[in-house]
Amino acid sequence: MESKIIASLDLTDESKLVRMAEEIGQSVFAIKINWPTILSLGKGIIKRLSETSNIICDLKIADIPNTNRLIMEQIATQHPWGVIAHLFTGKDSMESIVKAAGDAKVIGVVAMSNPGASEYLNGNYGNLVEDAKSLGCYGIVAPGNDYNLLERISKMKGNLKIFSPGVGAQGGGYNKALLSGADYVIIGRSLYENPDPIGYIKSLERK
């Protein structure tokens, strides 16, 4: 059975990152890396990690179309499995990413897992989901620690896949997120700080 877990490895120590990726890469659906990793180790780390698992670059790109295109073109040279970008900057901005993505799957943010996201972003999820569908995104990001919001977004998603952060250190539960509509659950600190990450992954999937 295909894993539903995406390991968010926010590590800047290359040897530790590669060792962790090699240890867990075949036990998870994908490994997600963020700006701290890429800025510390260079974009070449994307291709290197791709030898261990699917790689999602969580860049949350959010700029004007031309800048978005330039960022996406650089990342596309490393052939990640997917890239996360923001939808709130408008259809033209996301369209530029989709067009420049090559084979990478584009995942648009419609809501986030931090408390402050409710101030401006999360209340606009309906428009953002519809934009993600019309623009050809592969999936969307929606919080795995706000089950009511996740359920509402799930009812609108159509063929989009939902990627849900906020599980573990931010209080969300793995199985509860899946039951609320997540297709994949993103887990970071509680996985990579665990002394037995493989055991932790297996314990989640047994529940």
Residue of 43, 60, 133, 161 marked catalytic: 60
91 is catalytic: no
How far is C-alpha 189 from the geometric centre of its chain's CA atoms?
Answer: 14
Rounded Cα gap, residues 179 and 185, in angstroms: 11
| CB-based contact 188:30 (threshold 8 Å) | no
> Burial letters for 53-71: b for 16+ Cβ neighbours within 10 Å, e otherwise?
bbbbbbbbbbbebeebbeb
Q: Which residue in this structure is represented by tokens 């019309």?
A: 134
Q: Which residue in this structure is represented by tokens 């900057």?
A: 89
Please identify every residue annotated as catalytic: 60
